[in-house]
């Protein structure tokens, strides 16, 4: 489970094979029972209700929901979850000034990107915020960039400019918009593609060597085709990283105490 500010993404793995995946809204008011009913219902609806859950791995940037999530995991899935944070084995060397500040979703992204694409690597995650995570050839998590996300920027336009309509975030027919909607779509899609390329090029200039660029997140497939620096798009990168982290901590004493 990857719990973000806007959405929670869940994946069910058999070994390293992703058998099913779901995206739900992150609800700060949801109880453990409500969440348990929803999660088990999604698994049942996918005709996988006969699957035995051996473990649960969680990244979260929303601390206030964790009590309900952990209670749900124990009550409805029969497992105490592994929550990615300090003391968890990841295979990374965290070079943040304060390693505890490194986002658990970004750590999961880095673990999966190294496994699938090698290092050095830059991961661009199009979520509520657009984050850039930089991992060098020694698997050192160097840090990165956090910028407002595509949806945050779109919502700011809607709120601040009363005449601008809500729009679908899709690529317009041309960069030059011929109406208000296509002009806004162009600004968001091509604007964020340009932002990605500008930041990636500055990162590469700063580190002094080329890095592979991998994109993930809900809007990665919308923006990535218009970027000149993104090489790979992997929409399930975070979930894959959580599965790998669970593997690396399976059976450890610290995990068993959770």
pLDDT digits (tens, 9 = 90+) for 102-132: 999 999 999 999 999 999 999 999 988 999 9
Residues 6+ apart with CB under 8 A from 229: 196, 197, 200, 201, 213
CATH architecture of 93-242: 2-Layer Sandwich (3.30)
| Statement: the pTM of the whole predicted model exceeds 0.85 | yes
Q: Over the chain, what is the mean pLDDT?
A: 90
Per-residue pLDDT, 256: 42
CA atoms of 43 and 65, how far apart (whole Å): 21
Q: CB-based contacts of 230: which residues, under 8 Å, 6+ apart?
A: 124, 196, 200, 213, 214, 215, 224
Binding-site residues for K(+), in ranges, read 125
pLDDT number for residue 161: 67
| 232 alpha-carbon distance from chain centroid | 15
Section 25-50 average pLDDT: 91
Q: What is the mean pLDDT of residues 7-31?
A: 93
185-206 per-position pLDDT tens digit:
888 899 999 999 999 999 999 9
Instruction: Tell me which CATH homologous superfamily contains domain 2-83.
Output: ATPase, nucleotide binding domain (3.30.420.40)
pLDDT in tens, 138-184: 999 999 999 998 888 877 777 766 566 666 677 778 899 888 888 88
Average pLDDT on 245-254 reads 79
- Over residues 213-239, mean pLDDT: 95
Told to judge if 197 belongs to the known catalytic residues of this protein, a careful annotator would answer no
CA–CA separation, 178 and 34 (whole Å):
46
Binding residues: 2-9, 96, 103-106, 125, 128, 180
The reported pLDDT for the residue numbered 167 is 66
Per cent of the chain over pLDDT 90 is 71
| In contact, 130 and 147? CB cutoff 8 Å | yes
Say if 2-83 and 93-242 have the same CATH topology.
yes
Looking only at Cα atoms, what is the longest distance across the chain?
A: 62
Mean pLDDT across 232-246: 97
CA angle, 179 then 184 then 189, to 5°: 125
Confidence class for position 62, pLDDT limits 50, 70, 90? very high
Per the residue annotation, which of 49, 105, 197, 234 is the catalytic one? 105
Enumerate the known binding-site residues for ATP.
2-9, 128
pLDDT at 258 over 90: no
Average pLDDT over residues 7-36: 94
State the helix-helix crossing angle for 66-76 and 32-45, rounded to 10 degrees.
50
So where are the chain's domains? 2-83, 93-242
């Amino acid at each position: 489970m990857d719990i973000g500010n806007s959405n929670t993404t869940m994946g069910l793995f058999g070994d390293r094979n992703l058998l099913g995946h779901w995206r739900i809204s992150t609800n700060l008011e949801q109880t453990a029972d409500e969440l348990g009913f929803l999660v088990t219902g999604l698994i049942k609806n996918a005709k996988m209700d006969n699957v035995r859950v051996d473990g649960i791995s969680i990244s979260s940037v929303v601390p206030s929901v964790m009590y309900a999530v952990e209670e749900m995991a124990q009550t409805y899935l029969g497992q105490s979850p592994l929550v990615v944070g300090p003391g968890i084995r990841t295979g990374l060397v965290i070079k943040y000034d304060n390693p505890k500040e490194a986002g658990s979703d970004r750590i999961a992204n880095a673990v999966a990107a190294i496994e699938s694409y090698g290092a050095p690597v830059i991961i661009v995650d199009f979520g509520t915020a657009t984050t850039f995570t930089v991992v060098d050839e020694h698997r050192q998590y160097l840090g990165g960039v956090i910028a407002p996300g595509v949806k945050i920027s779109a919502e700011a336009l809607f709120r601040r400019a009363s005449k601008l309509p809500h729009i679908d975030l899709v690529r317009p027919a041309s960069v030059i918009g011929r109406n208000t909607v296509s002009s806004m779509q162009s600004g968001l899609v091509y604007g964020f593609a340009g932002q990605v390329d500008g930041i990636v090029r500055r990162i590469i200039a700063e580190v002094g060597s080329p890095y592979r660029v991998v994109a993930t997140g809900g809007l990665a497939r919308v923006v990535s085709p218009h970027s000149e620096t993104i090489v790979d798009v992997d929409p399930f990168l975070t979930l894959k990283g959580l599965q790998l982290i669970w593997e690396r901590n399976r059976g450890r004493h610290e995990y068993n105490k959770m």
